[in-house]
Structure 1
Amino acid sequence: MNEHTAGRHASRGLNRRGFLVATGAAAAGAALATTLPEKARAVAGTFRVPVEDVRHTRTWMAWPDSTAIWSGKLSGVQADIALIARTIATYEPVVMCANPGSAARARSLCGSTVTVISSIPVDDCWMRDTGPVFRTDGYGGLDTVGLNFNGWGNKQTHDRDALVAERIAAHVGVQFTRADLIGEGGAIEQDGAGTLMATRSSLVNRNRNPGMSERQLETAMCEAYGASKVIWFDGVYGQDITDDHVDATSRFLAPGEALVQMPVAADDDAFARDARRQYSTLSASTTAKGRAMDVMRLQGPDYNRIRSTNRDFLASYANFYLCNDAVISAQFGDRRADEAARATLQRLYPDRYIEQLNIDRLGTGGGGIHCVTQQQPVA
């Protein structure tokens, strides 16, 4: 859900569907604002969230159908979600969660290669943030952890989305545990070998975790992900609905390897400055095992050359999704930057197909391909 480095103007206000906040925040109430449910069981040191290039059993997605959230934009966003689902489905199974009243339209647009189910209701399409985080134990075991989604700090209605993680876990038939923090999947990146990265602006934030210190959050994050170290970035507070998720700026490629999407030299808004700081921080960091980080640059597009003129548009190549045998990324109409991003991703993933999709309608909501997908790894 990032969001992030994409900011065209530092003072642009909330993106990632900033236009919906007025319609949705009142309905969000105070759900999960102060008290977390008790954990189902302790699993620290047993299960961990693997790095995202492992093989998947399937991809989970969610079908948007709210005209209140997507006022005047819904049909275009649905078309983009369907395009993403159909593309991924050529490489691995895709399960789309849709409300009963919109399941038929989802099936019509997604086609027969995508499985649409209506038993898990949703409010919106951001499965990265609402879905369960799957963990493996290396011995054929699979379980899930839920991050207690609260609408990015009660900025959007989320009565259904708050239950998606637990309901998917029940559908799959695996153990579900609630983390001791409030957050979203897009807020935390993992390398699968003990190291996490995240922005303080998103998690060390009273709209998610009031009264929790950074140290307490580190402990909760590491327990949930099976990790032992967090690399923190300052982030950007209050200028997009996610408070600057990490997954549109910085991504892990493997243990000790990461990339950062860099802005063009002329960009100097809050998100561009944040991206440069993330690169500097990562370059000076070590992994949980003490290895120096190898940090690569992924050049972002020039906002003066992309197709969209929407001020909240997210133009993040870094918000790509890894599925079996492919990298699903976006392209934005800056042809030179689009081709350079493709070449970079092909170099990083030489054994995978690189799919670049035009998802401009989804991008006007401040999100990208990684934001609307959630992988279920092979146990």
Structure 2
Amino acid sequence: MKTEHDGERPGISRRTLLARTGAAAAALAVGPVLGGVQPAMAASWRVPGEDESHRRTWMAWPSSYTIWGNLLSKIQADIAKLAKEVAKYEPVIMCADGSSAASQARTACGSTVTVISSIPVSDCWMRDTGPLFRIDDAGGLDAFGLNFNAWGENATTFYGLPASAYDKDRTVAPKVAAYGGAPFAKASVVGEGGGIEYDGDGTLMATESCWLNGNRNPGKSRSQVEAELLSRFGASKMIWLPGVTGQDVTDGHIDGTARYIRPGVVMVQLAGAVRPDVWTANAQAIRDTLAAATDARGRRLQVLTIEGPDTLPRIQAGKRAEFLSSYMNWAVTNQAIITTQFGDTAKDAAAKSAIAAAYGRPVVQLNLDNLYGNGGGGAHCVTMQEPNR
């Protein structure tokens, strides 16, 4: 096992700076590991890279006024827009919280998106709440969950939301797996799918700020967390990256800054002029760490870079520093990459060209300002792929 370097409600943005709570650092709540932990499966199982073939994409329809307040309809509009785009390239199943929400989602998303009401959801962040699907060489499929605890209970610490607001999302993973006919197990660590990147070929990368955090994995060492993640993902090497603690509700998820394109190739977004200094420095540190890294196969990583936008012309000046201005938080589909555009014409075009060249697939850029701004998450955060086998 190898390791590399050792009017609108303000309270719902997943990346609102902690300063808005009136403290430079918060005492973060500790969430328990959910019960029923099972041993990790055999090493022949692996989570495929996102560039591999998908059976479908899973999403979740937001319908909680407790969480979103008056912004709910705007977030729903962006979720519907994204779901309809993903459905052009692969099937989409949208989980909705009951028959009324399902009816609303069907009207908004149209007939190309399959909406089900049998899996109750609290919110839209399927990347963090859903299961990680695995395959093996014999054509098997199973899944595991990362014991979602509302980002280390930061939803309560940051925004004052009751812990019960996310009760349904804490049980989404096994229900999605069961719908797909996949045996399910719970990992012995707590985290989120957006907090880890995997190439499907033996290598993981993640930020220490998410996983080695007392609000998720109190009392666990880095080696313990690493061993469990490697075993679950069917990987043999972890690249630990610097992160940012206490500046957003996720504690610095990796999927807004660095992503695998394919085994041996990663892309990093260096911050544009609108990002606060803490994120600018962190992006450069992640780039530098990856440039010096090798993967599980001994390959020196090829590190591609793009730059974030320098301006957000559609966003009020006072809200720009909190906006998730990340092209990286894209959704991979079987035939296209779906990301965002921010209205910075030159940077939008450069990012689209670079991502298309890296993947060899068309890139679709959507205006998802409400999701990325008021929601603080993006296309990757609200989608979870189920692989073909």
Q: TM-score, normalised by structure 2?
A: 0.88
Match of 1:97 among 89, 95, 98: 95
Task: Structure 2 unaligned segments of length 5 or more: list them.
Answer: 1-9, 22-27, 156-164
Is 1:143 aligned with 2:146?
Answer: no
The 3-state SS of whatever aligns with 1:155 is: helix
Distance in structure 1 (CA, Å) of the matches to 2:312 and 2:198 = 32
1:63-118 deviations in Å (ceiling 9; x for gaps) = 00112211221111100000000001011100000011311110000000000000
After TM superposition, give the deviation of residue 41 of structure 1 in Å: 4.6
The 3-state SS of whatever aligns with 1:287 is: coil
Is 1:160 aligned with 2:168?
Answer: yes
After TM superposition, give the deviation of residue 307 of structure 1 in Å: 1.9
Is 1:318 aligned with 2:316?
Answer: no
Match of 2:365 among 343, 356, 362: 356
Change in 2 beyond 3 A, CA 1:264/1:35: closer
1:225-258 deviations in Å (ceiling 9; x for gaps) = 1111111112000110000000010001111110
Q: Which residue of 1 aligns with 2:109?
A: 110
Q: Which residue of 1 aligns with 2:77?
A: 79
- List structure 1 runs of 4+ shifted beyond 4 angstroms: 12-15, 17-22, 265-268
Is 1:200 aligned with 2:171?
Answer: no
Distance in structure 2 (CA, Å) of the matches to 1:225 and 1:147 = 11
The 3-state SS of whatever aligns with 2:151 is: helix
Task: Structure 1 unaligned segments of length 5 or more: list them.
Answer: 1-11, 23-28
Contact 1:14/1:238 (<8 A) preserved: no
Which residues of 2 match residues 150-299 of structure 1 at below 5 A? 150-156=149-155, 157-264=165-272, 269-299=277-307
Q: Which residue of 1 aligns with 2:380?
A: 370
The 3-state SS of whatever aligns with 1:220 is: helix
- Name the % identity: 50
Distance in structure 2 (CA, Å) of the matches to 1:232 and 1:42 = 21
Distance in structure 2 (CA, Å) of the matches to 1:14 and 1:111 = 27
The 3-state SS of whatever aligns with 2:260 is: strand
Q: Identify the structure with bigger relative contact order (alpha carbons < 8 Å, sequence gap 6+).
A: 1
Distance in structure 2 (CA, Å) of the matches to 1:107 and 1:367 = 23
Q: Which residue of 2 aligns with 1:126?
A: 125
Distance in structure 1 (CA, Å) of the matches to 2:259 and 2:283 = 12
Q: Which residue of 1 aligns with 2:315?
A: 308
Q: Which residue of 2 aligns with 1:9?
A: none
The 3-state SS of whatever aligns with 1:180 is: coil
Q: Which residue of 2 aligns with 1:26?
A: none
The 3-state SS of whatever aligns with 1:196 is: strand
Distance in structure 1 (CA, Å) of the matches to 2:53 and 2:299 = 25
Distance in structure 2 (CA, Å) of the matches to 1:60 and 1:317 = 21
| CA RMSD, Structure 1 to Structure 2 (Å) | 2.2
Distance in structure 1 (CA, Å) of the matches to 2:109 and 2:346 = 31
Q: TM-score, normalised by structure 1?
A: 0.90
Distance in structure 2 (CA, Å) of the matches to 1:19 and 1:73 = 19
The 3-state SS of whatever aligns with 1:206 is: coil
1:280-322 deviations in Å (ceiling 9; x for gaps) = 00000110122111100021111x3442232421111011111
1:173-209 deviations in Å (ceiling 9; x for gaps) = 1110111100000000001111101111111000000
Distance in structure 1 (CA, Å) of the matches to 2:229 and 2:337 = 27
The 3-state SS of whatever aligns with 2:179 is: helix
1:337-377 deviations in Å (ceiling 9; x for gaps) = 00111110111122x22111000010121100000000000
Distance in structure 1 (CA, Å) of the matches to 2:11 and 2:232 = 32
Change in 2 beyond 3 A, CA 1:42/1:202: closer
Aligned residues: 359
2:107 partner amino acid:
S
